[in-house]
Amino acid sequence: MHQRETRINCARLWLVLAVLTVSGCACGLVGTLPNVEGMEHAQIVIIGPPALFTACSWIVTVDGADLYAIGNGEHAIIAVPVGERIIGVKFFSSAFRWEENTQTVTTEAGKVYYFRLDPRFGGVVFINRITTETGRELVCKTLRLP
């Protein structure tokens, strides 16, 4: 019985290491930011979760384009054109495949919209709109990515 438990624990360890390896720990800009020069625009602020037990980062998308890899305790500010935008987060799930969760927001010139990445059990990550007050508090506690 002891040998079987050891094999199961070893398999679990390899699974965790594989997920961490594939999910990555890169952070920062991974794509091209939207061009808003000379245009009215809004700002999207994406805030990663507080420090957790994982070293993961998640890919933030705007209108389907990969823009930032954001990890624990980080945030990014993205200028976007006015209008309907699809804000998303890509993650490597426990089903060993890339998945994406999205939110749609209609942006107005000069306004700031705050979103938080909320990881859950099984590798799933949600992107949730939060209040301006909560967003400002979390921005003060996280590191801004360039």
Give the pairing of strands 112-119 and 125-130.
Answer: antiparallel
**Which three-class secondary structure state does DSSP give residue 19?**
helix
pLDDT at 20 over 60: no
Domain edges within the chain: 2-144
CA distances from 135 to 114, 130, 132 (A): 6, 6, 5
Q: What is the pTM of this model?
A: 0.79
Q: Where in 13-82 does DSSP place strands (E)? A: 28-29, 41-47, 57-62, 65-71, 74-81
Instruction: Using a pLDDT cut of 90, give the percent of the chain over it.
Output: 58
**Which three-class secondary structure state does DSSP give residue 83?**
strand
Q: How many CB atoms lie within 10 A of CB 50?
A: 10
What is the C-alpha to C-alpha distance for residues 45 and 36, in angstroms, rounded to an integer?
16
Residue 23 pLDDT? 46
Banded pLDDT at 121 (limits 50, 70, 90):
confident
For 33, the token pair is 């930011």
The tens digit of pLDDT for each residue in 43-100 reads 999 999 887 656 678 999 999 999 999 999 999 999 999 999 999 999 988 888 899 9
What is the C-alpha to C-alpha distance for residues 61 and 110, in angstroms, rounded to an integer?
21
What is the C-alpha to C-alpha distance for residues 8 and 5, in angstroms, rounded to an integer?
5
